[in-house]
């Protein structure tokens, strides 16, 4: 079962501080395995002797791992408690990051990536319901904080990857992020120790709470919800575009004549403009009954950016990258809507798992297909044609997700 604060009294101040610290540090670690790797793909390809297809597989691993572990995380959280699940996520991520830095071939590099991404996939799902449970009156503010830190954790590894590799080698550039994951585990350990003392106003093994009259989730119900499907499509297309850019933006720019360091810098700029969305999107979403206009503006940014990257990538690369970064504002919007389109922590966990599991499954072929199309045609026209098509899917999913209704409303109708 999900953990919950005790019914007799709310969590203590120390508990809230530990949970907030755990959420923030965990959020920083949710993308470090992704953006610390992609700027080094050319170097690693030369070291281990792989080409564009293997690079595409490495680019596909994040979304595939996030899909698999996103689907199973709500069940895991109900079984061992959501706080223990958060701790497990960071420990697994740390183990995978360390293993990847010790790689002596492509197989170990992939294995370490899969383990690290498994931990991060679990972390993706548990953070929104933790916000819902411990900060129900501060969903917008806490969501802004943790999504902002998540974007920082996306941007900094991309910016540092090439300089760290040049200064200390690629193993250090990949392995240094292990320490951040270990640090993120410490608040959850502290929280579990407080809970064991029994006087902190929280227990981590009790039944999950629900609002009176709102049924608890049953397996498969999310599949019948248009809210869940809309959010999965919006989130999935955003992820497909994002991870295609993470994987192929540096290569696209270097093939156009830029340096590898410039490609890494542009990847950091891409992440930085995602940070702008993280700072503003949660507060916008909580104030709008139907934020579909935001989805439409993000889609427009994508169309302009893709056209620029396709036709004149080095004419104004910073502008194109800034626009595609702004277009990914549907990512923080999706994460915020998890708690705005659910009424309970259980509903939030179910919606989070479905949205991220199905969404990442939908998007996982994006980086690989992008690379295959590029390799088959020798150009970028067909890869970007795929991304233009995804913008249409983004708009359809956004229309469904932004309608003012909750996941539990559908549960209630199904049980009558």
267-296 mean pLDDT: 84
> Among candidates 255, 264, 266, which has minimal Cα distance to 378?
255
- Per-residue pLDDT of 35-52, as tens digits, reads 888 788 888 888 888 776
The residue behind tokens 């959010």 is: 231
Can you tell me whether residue 10 is helix, strand or coil? coil
Is the sign of the CA dihedral 106, 108, 113, 114 positive or negative?
positive
Taking CA atoms, 310 is separated from 256, 260, 315, 367, in Å, by 10, 19, 11, 16
| pTM of the complete model | 0.75
Q: Are 383 and 366 in contact (CB under 8 A)?
A: no
- Per-residue pLDDT of 290-332, as tens digits, reads 999 999 999 999 999 999 999 999 999 999 999 999 999 998 8
Angle among Cα 18, 85, 36 to the nearest 5 degrees reads 85
- Per-residue pLDDT of 152-199, as tens digits, reads 888 888 888 889 998 998 899 999 999 999 999 999 999 988 877 765
CA–CA dist 199, 201 (Å, integer) = 6
How much of the chain, in percent, has pLDDT values that exceed 70? 89
Q: What does the mean pLDDT of the chain come to?
A: 84
Q: How confident is the model at residue 279 (pLDDT cuts 50, 70, 90)?
A: confident
- Name the DSSP letter for residue 275: H
109-135 mean pLDDT: 90
What is the predicted pLDDT for the residue at 215? Answer: 45
Phi (first) and psi of residue 51, to 5 degrees: -115, -155
What is the predicted pLDDT for the residue at 131? Answer: 87
Six-digit token string for 361? 């499954």
For the chain, the straight-line distance linking the first and the last C-alpha, in angstroms and rounded, comes to 25
Looking only at the bridges linking them, the beta strands covering 202-203 and 4-5 are antiparallel
CA–CA dist 30, 111 (Å, integer) = 17
Distance, CA of 295 to chain centre: 18
């Amino acid at each position: 079962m999900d953990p919950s604060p005790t019914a007799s009294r709310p969590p203590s101040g120390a508990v809230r501080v530990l949970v907030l610290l755990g959420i923030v540090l965990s959020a920083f670690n949710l993308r470090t395995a992704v953006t610390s790797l992609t700027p080094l793909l050319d170097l690693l390809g030369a070291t281990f002797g792989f080409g564009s297809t293997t690079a595409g597989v490495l680019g596909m691993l994040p979304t595939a791992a996030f899909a698999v572990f996103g689907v199973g995380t709500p069940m895991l959280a109900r079984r061992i408690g959501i706080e223990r699940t958060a701790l497990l996520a960071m420990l697994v991520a740390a183990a995978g990051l360390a293993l990847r830095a010790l790689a002596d071939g492509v197989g170990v590099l992939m294995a370490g990536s899969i383990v690290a991404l498994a931990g991060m996939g679990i972390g993706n799902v548990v953070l929104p319901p933790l916000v819902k449970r411990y900060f129900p009156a501060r969903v917008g503010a806490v969501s802004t904080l943790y999504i902002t830190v998540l974007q920082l954790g996306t941007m900094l590894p991309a910016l540092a990857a090439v300089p760290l590799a040049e200064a200390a080698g690629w193993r250090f550039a990949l392995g240094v992020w292990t320490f951040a994951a270990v640090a993120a585990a410490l608040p959850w350990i502290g929280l579990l120790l407080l809970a064991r003392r029994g006087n902190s106003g929280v227990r981590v093994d009790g039944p999950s709470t629900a609002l009176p009259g709102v049924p608890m989730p049953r397996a498969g119900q999310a599949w019948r919800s248009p809210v869940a499907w809309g959010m999965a499509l919006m989130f999935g297309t955003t992820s497909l575009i994002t991870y295609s850019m993470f994987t192929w933006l540096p290569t696209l720019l270097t093939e156009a004549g830029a340096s590898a360091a410039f490609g890494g810098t542009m990847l950091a700029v891409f992440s930085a403009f995602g940070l702008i969305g993280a700072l503003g999107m949660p507060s916008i979403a909580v104030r709008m009954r139907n934020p579909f206009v935001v989805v439409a503006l993000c889609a427009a940014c994508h169309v302009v950016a893709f056209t620029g990257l396709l036709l004149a990538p080095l004419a104004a690369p910073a502008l194109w990258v800034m626009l595609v970064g702004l277009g990914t504002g549907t990512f923080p919007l999706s994460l915020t809507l998890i708690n705005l389109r659910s009424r309970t922590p259980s509903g939030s966990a179910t919606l989070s798992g479905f949205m991220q599991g199905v969404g990442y499954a939908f998007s996982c072929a994006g980086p690989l297909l992008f690379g295959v199309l590029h390799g088959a045609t020798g150009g970028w026209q067909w890869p970007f044609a795929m991304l233009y098509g995804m913008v249409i899917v983004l708009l359809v999913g956004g229309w469904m997700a932004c309608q003012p209704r909750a996941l539990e409303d559908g549960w209630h109708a199904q049980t009558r």
